[in-house]
Amino acid sequence: MKKYILIALEALTVLSAKAQKLEKPKIDKITGDTMLSTKEQALANPFTLPGHYLAGNIMKGKNYWAMYFHLKDGMDLHYYVLKGDKAIIKFTDGKLLEISAAIDAYASIIPYATPPVTESFLVFDLTNEDITALENGKISVIRISTSQGPFDYDIKDSKAEIFKKQLELITKK
């Protein structure tokens, strides 16, 4: 019995170690700039539909930082987030961080999903002050403003420091 428990613990350790890793750097063929990004990780509601699923990761280019969100909703829902629209990150100490969408993004229906599932991919610009706030804070809620109103995601304690760990990976590189 102890042998099986040890094997299970080792497997969990390996899986969690792989969860926080960098993707292969992408090099722009014209400018030669390198973009680093971390693997996308689930932040909220990873296995339940209908409901809000939120995953995210951090990207760093030559002159920019960005936060990327992947949303899935278990319903036929059409919405958009336009460049300049806001997302608000609330930390456990009550502080708020407001970030702006970098590009226009539109939700789409996943054609093979039954019941319908809406999916979107959102990119938000990060400043140096935003990076510092993410490195020093523990996230409790993420609110994304959309054309259908705000989408709120409660972040569990086990997921609260994912962005902090992703930033550590990128800055070590």
- Per-residue model confidence (pLDDT) at position 16: 43
- Per-residue model confidence (pLDDT) at position 50: 57
For residue 142, give the H/E element and its range.
strand 139-146
Q: What is the mean pLDDT of each run of 10 residues along the chain (173 residues)?
A: 42 46 78 80 72 88 92 87 97 96 93 82 95 93 94 90 89 76
Q: How many CB atoms lie within 10 A of CB 67?
A: 23
Give start and end residues of each alpha helix (H) in the chain: 2-19, 128-136, 162-172
| CATH code at position 75 | 2.60.40
Terminal-residue alpha carbon distance, the chain: 41
Instruction: Write down how long the chain is.
Output: 173
- Per-residue model confidence (pLDDT) at position 22: 73
**58 within 8 A of 38, measured Cβ to Cβ:** yes
Q: In terms of residue numbers, what domain contains 90?
A: 2-172
Number of domains in the chain: 1
Q: Which two tokens stand for residue 40?
A: 């996308």
| Cis peptide preceding 150, ω within 30 of 0 | no
- Exposure string of 41-51, with b = 16+ CB inside 10 Å and e = fewer, is bebbbeeeeee
- Per-residue model confidence (pLDDT) at position 126: 96
